[in-house]
A and B are shown apart, each in its own frame.
Chain A
Amino acid sequence: MTQVDVLYRYGVPPAERAVLALSKVRDVYGVRRMVLDEKAKTVRVEYDASRLTGAVIHQLLRRAGLDIVETVSMIPEPEDVAPALPLNPSVA
């Protein structure tokens, strides 16, 4: 089993019907966990990549009625680093 996490940002908050449909997505083999963050407007899905693909997960969410806007990178952005000082300021 290869466990993969994917994070999507959605636009329109899901209505009750869509939330119910989303809860059913958990019934699909390979979907291990799904967390909806209403504050951040994101949905995080943990799935088994040996059974499903990212495209299938995306389609499952869209079919459930979730207005997916973008895939959010889960790799944290590098913090701003101050420009390096010259080795010998007197030379500069």
Chain B
Amino acid sequence: MRGGRLRTRALCILALGWCGLLATACDRGDHPTRIGVSAPQFTVRDGTQTVDLAKLRGHTVVLNFWATWCIPCIEEVPSLVELQRRMPQLTVIAISEDEDAGVYRQFLTDNHVDFVTVRDPSARIRKMYGSIKIPETYVIDSGGVLRRKFVSAQDWTSPEIMDYLGKLQGTAKIGI
């Protein structure tokens, strides 16, 4: 009798333990929280360039956070240039955290960066997106929804990424 009660109690404790383990194992908390929601709207001016995200509604936007002093960031710049060249229907926007306007301008000239870039030295926009490190890139669909976040430098001309962006534009065209 007493043995049966003890066994039941032990089974209950075991079951509760398993439930706890399952609950913690399922939610590791490392999924970007903002994916699938509307991208934070912003307007940024640096005296040379102005970017208003609201005006890009209807376009797929690749929003990249970078700086000229950030080596991994500048490593991915050529592939972003190439991405914009190969997919002119999407808009690449790079927001730089450079404080020195001269160094920033010189970098753009030297590296023939011809996609849209704008300087935000206070990192206001990056913080708005909840990013803490660079390089980081968000893909925003034509409806203004954040679809994907890429951390660290990427090869933007890799078949996987090109295919993903192509499909995203395809779904936008047929209104999905």
- Chain A residues engaging chain B, CB cutoff 8 angstroms: 21, 24, 27-30, 51-52, 56, 59-60, 63-64
Contacts and interface: CB of A to CB of B under 8 A. Distances in A.
Interface residues of B, number: 15
B22 interface: no
A44 B135 CA distance: 22
A61 to B, nearest CB: 10
A29 B66 CA distance: 11
Contact of B69 (A30, A52, A63): A63
B151 A60 contact: no
With a 10 A CB-CB cut-off, give which of A21, A28, A52, A63 has the most chain B CB atoms.
A28
B69 A29 contact: no
B134 A63 contact: no
A30 B151 CA distance: 10
B143 interface: no
B75 to A, nearest CB: 8
A60 B152 contact: no
B40 to A, nearest CB: 19
A80 to B, nearest CB: 41
B71 A29 contact: no
B132 interface: yes
A37 B77 CA distance: 34
A8 to B, nearest CB: 16
Contact of A29 (B67, B97, B135): B135
B132 A27 contact: yes
B82 interface: no
Contacts of A63: 69, 71
A37 to B, nearest CB: 23
B155 interface: no
Nearest to A58: B71
19 contacts: A24-B97, A27-B97, A27-B132, A28-B70, A28-B71, A28-B72, A28-B73, A28-B134, A28-B135, A29-B72, A29-B133, A29-B153, A30-B72, A30-B152, A51-B72, A56-B72, A60-B69, A60-B71, A63-B69
